Chain A
Amino acid sequence: MFEYALSVMIFLPILSGLVLLLSPVSKGAARLVGFLVSVVILLLGVEIFLGFTGTGGMEYVQNRPWVESLGISYGLGVDGISLLVLMAATVLFPMVFSVLKTQSKGYYANLLITQGAMIGAICATDLVLFYIFWEIMLLPIFFMIGLYGGENRLSATLKITIYTIAGSLLMLAALIYVGVSYHAQFGKWTFDIVQLAALDLSGGWAILAFIMFMIAFAIKTPLFPFHTWLPDAYTEAPTAATFVLSAIMAKIGVYGVIRFVVPVFEIEFARFAILLSLAGVTGMIYCGLAAISQKDMKRMLAFSSASHMGIIALGVFCMNVQALTGTLFQIAAHATSTGVLFLFVGLMEERMKTRDIDDLGGIAYKAPIFATFFAITMLASVGLPGTSGFIGEFLIILGAIKFNAFIGVLAGTALVIGVCYMLWMFQRVFFEKSNARTVEFQDLSTSELLTFLPVILLIVAMGIFPQAFIKKIEPAAQQQVAKVFAMTQAQVADTKVPNPGHNNHKN
């Protein structure tokens, strides 16, 4: 019965989004449809999570040839690497439809389309299919920012669109290069990622193709120094678009590196790992410092999100099981915490018509429940033990130290910056004196409370029982790392934490 679950999860939202766009329904009906569809997707997602055996291979596989002359197929599947990203894309959406009540029909329709496309990008096992969904998922965001965004939405829209499309098109050339190289080496066409891993690439063009892939993913993530579109886009975008961008789309950038770049370009990846991880750490520190000085809450969260993406990306570049598992876990953890924080800011903006930190204060006295929820989410984002954020960051730092002590120490220290801006913002917004504006702040209504409660519980649960999640992703992470270093799984599993300064990469 669940054979076609992935296809349903992709095309149900896309089709219902298109139907909504083309038919004259009211915005209430559109929201209801969106909510119902996203709940169906959620249930399917939970079913997939529970049914997932975690043996390391692809599950729920679907494979159908599409363009046979070029070996392009409609291939879908989930493994430990994509499982938690997929969860992030399915679990959080009903919340968005439930919280944002006053938007127009196109808003909800675009949201549905982008969800379907993102799930498609996450589940695709064919490089071309992945690329197609990767491009489609940007279009609704383009329209959402342009139509429903803030004052400077036009420049923000153009910036994000041209930036990301530039990256994607470079990736297109690179992925075709990969396909053609496979054809040259093995005499047949395929874009299936499992088979492409057998490729042996070398030479100048391979490095160029690798860089083109990395630029595409670095822009989407965004990784320093390709982050300049982010503050504008995140700030100007309507709440749901910011949520989608930060909670899920950014993760697909990191996921793309793990899924498509590492297996194909092992040598190039290992060669550039130090440089890339330095870029990750730099982004982390730079965006963290920038976040401290922001006056606008949403902009501050935008920078904070970029800063966190730096550490998530760092986990990929360290190339060991701990860091990779940490990254995969942190992808889900960060989606829950940052995504919800953006929704909270959206709520505050709706109620008080401002996001300026200086205009706010004393909200905690008026809205204790909201403040508690906000605090839990924020602490998860900072990485407090007992919340979801801790496990991932801990594993990543562990792996980073194993990879290169300098980078590990730098990343570990830089985490403090996150605590600075978050707690300082929390103090200024929720404590201190309340003013005329915040005195009238309404606490969460019952329906909002019920909407957010499951996610808050999830954040805590992921912090306390991480093993339930980690045991599903670890085999895949081990396989991935093992493939890169052509070691047996047993050796990787037995790897002890090495001496400080031990350099794990091969070049």
Chain B
Amino acid sequence: MHDFMSLLPLIIIGSGAILLMLLAAFEKIEVELAAYISMAIFGIGFVVQLLVGCGDQTVLFEKVFNGMLVSSNFTMIAGLIILGCGFFTAMCSHTYFKINQFCTLEFYSMMLFGACGMLLLSLSQELITAFIALEIMSLAIYILVGYDRTNVTSTEAILKYLMLGAFAGAFFTMGTALIYGGAASTKFADISTSIVDGSASHALMIGGAFLLFVALLFKVAAIPFHAWVIDVYEGAPTPVTGFMATALKTAVFAVFANFLALNDSLHGDWVTFLFYISVFTMFGGNLIAIGQNNLKRMLAASGIVHSGYLLIALVAISAEHFTGSVIGYYLAAYAVGTMGMFAALSYLGGKGEERMNFDDFKGLAKVRPYSAAAIAVFLLSMAGIPPTAGFMAKFYVITSAITAGHMALAVLGVVSSILSMWYYLRLIINMYFHDSEETFETSGSPLASAATFVLVFCVFAIGIYPIVI
């Protein structure tokens, strides 16, 4: 029964996706109603996930699924983040598509399919399952990115993402094949066993794991696999960008951590590699972000930086006592902050996303003080200023790094967050310390603003009551 309950959120989201697809085929409902339906599905999924809770590591339906899916506290947290992000994305989309009218019913169905793939990805402990989940997720996201077919930037974005994403998928399969060749299994548990008893071929394991890491690092936009992320984030519709930045990253990091944590010696082999990747990701991301004028591009680059911090946490995990709490908490904190930013941009962006540059937000605080305050809170959370969630998240990541003996990495992480102050403060300065030239009239529904303020509450709630840890 417990196995079924653990799968229930996935089942709910999956059937919701199919339901919406059918409704779309019959063209019986309005787009707005579809938004409410998907909100409801995500909401129910979230509540169910919360109620089911989870104990320790459990293999779900071991006989039927042959150990492909494993649930744990960590996957539950990842699931909650994904479902929560889906819920808020649906809210933002409702508003966004009132202003920008290129939405059809399939949009929400695709979003649910994407979330379905993400949930599956976070649960999977087997490489083929992970690959299938990754592709379910990616295909849905490709479509969402290019949803505005008449928009040139969107088309550019989808082309870039699809081409590079296909490569990443290919790398993943190749890596799976090599690992299967080396360890004679695609199940994480069996791979670990064969590494321990020495039957795995070292060369094949190295090659396979490297290719897997390339694919995963591509999905989380770690440097040097980050080239797509800036343009794709800019081209995608704002709510979709928010969904990608938060839920997708959560799912990929979940499977990444699960794979790394399968064995200490595997993790030990790759620590140095991940160390340098994370340093380059943090500093490179900061340099990219400092140069941006467009907010979505800046947030994309800041997403790279946050991937760097998450990689610190990955470097610091210990396979023996892996709980994923640090990564889970960081993902949650990052998700609320980023989701909040995109929720605010969904309704402040205006028609055709006309307001997206730093300069467009000059004087926002004078005209819309509450929105400006909300954005300031999200930015401060991303910058890691207490008492927001971002601070506690940074605190745990640095603690885990120092505990694992990576003092240098902790110091570099701190230096990198000093650099990142610049572009977060820049927007706050623009909003507060300049006079407004425009009125920031917004149309659409109030759902996105509601999402924004709920997320402000979440930023403080998660920061002040860090229950996960």
Contacts and interface: CB of A to CB of B under 8 A. Distances in A.
A465 interface: no
B469 interface: yes
Contact of A157 (B384, B407, B411, B429): B429
Contacts of A136: 385-387
A147 B433 contact: yes
Interface of B: 373, 380, 384-387, 391-392, 394-396, 398-399, 402-403, 407, 410-411, 413-415, 417-418, 421-422, 425, 429, 432-433, 466, 469
A157 B386 contact: no
Nearest to A68: B469
A461 interface: no
Interface in A272-320: none
A69 B469 contact: yes
A368 to B, nearest CB: 41
Contacts of B433: 146-147, 153-154, 157
Contacts of B403: 180, 183
A15 interface: no
A497 interface: no
Nearest to A178: B402
Contact of B395 (A128, A139, A147): A128
Contacts of A69: 469
B385 A139 contact: yes
Most-contacted residue by chain A among B380, B392, B407, B415 (CB, 10 A): B407
A176 B421 contact: no
B429 to A, nearest CB: 7
A293 to B, nearest CB: 30
B414 A173 contact: yes
B386 A131 contact: yes
A13 to B, nearest CB: 15
Nearest to B398: A176
Given A146-B433, A165-B418, A172-B395, A67 B407 contact: no
Contacts of B387: 132, 136
A39 B286 CA distance: 45
A154 B415 CA distance: 23
Contacts of A154: 429, 433
A169 B394 CA distance: 10
Given A132-B391, A146-B432, A161 B402 contact: no
Contact of A169 (B392, B402, B414): B414
A158 B391 contact: no
Contacts of A183: 403
A176 B395 contact: yes
A146 B399 CA distance: 33
Interface in A130-164: 131-132, 135-136, 139, 143, 146-147, 153-154, 157-158, 161-162
A205 interface: yes
A135 B425 contact: no
Given A70-B469, A176-B410, A183-B403, A165 B429 contact: no
A2 interface: no
Nearest to A167: B418
B2 to A, nearest CB: 25
Q: Which size class do A's interface residues fall under?
A: 20 to 34
Contact of B411 (A70, A131, A161, A173): A173
B414 A67 contact: no
A284 B239 CA distance: 55
A170 interface: yes
A166 interface: yes
A177 interface: yes
A363 B429 CA distance: 39
A179 interface: yes
Contacts of A172: 394-395, 398, 414
A382 B398 CA distance: 45
Given A146-B429, A158-B429, A205 B469 contact: no
Given A67-B392, A70-B469, 4 more contacts: A131-B386, A146-B433, A157-B433, A169-B384
15 contacts: A67-B392, A67-B466, A67-B469, A132-B391, A139-B385, A146-B429, A157-B433, A158-B425, A162-B418, A162-B422, A165-B418, A166-B418, A172-B398, A173-B402, A180-B403
Nearest to A169: B414
A172 B414 CA distance: 8
Nearest to A143: B432
Contacts of A180: 399, 402-403
Contacts of A169: 384, 414-415, 417-418
Per CB-CB distance, the 10 closest pairs between chain A and chain B, nearest first, are A132-B386, A146-B433, A173-B414, A180-B402, A166-B418, A169-B414, A135-B386, A176-B398, A176-B399, A69-B469
Interface string A18-34: 00010000000000000
B373 to A, nearest CB: 8
Given A154-B433, A162-B425, A180-B403, A170 B414 contact: yes
Given A135-B385, A169-B417, A177 B402 contact: yes
B399 A179 contact: yes
B420 to A, nearest CB: 10
Contacts of A173: 398, 402, 410-411, 413-414
A155 to B, nearest CB: 11
Nearest to A67: B466
A132 B380 CA distance: 13
Contacts of B414: 169-170, 172-173
A24 to B, nearest CB: 10
Contacts of B407: 177, 205, 208
A334 to B, nearest CB: 28
A296 B394 CA distance: 42
Contacts of B394: 172
Nearest to A177: B402
A424 B316 CA distance: 60
Contacts of A132: 386-387, 391
B418 to A, nearest CB: 5
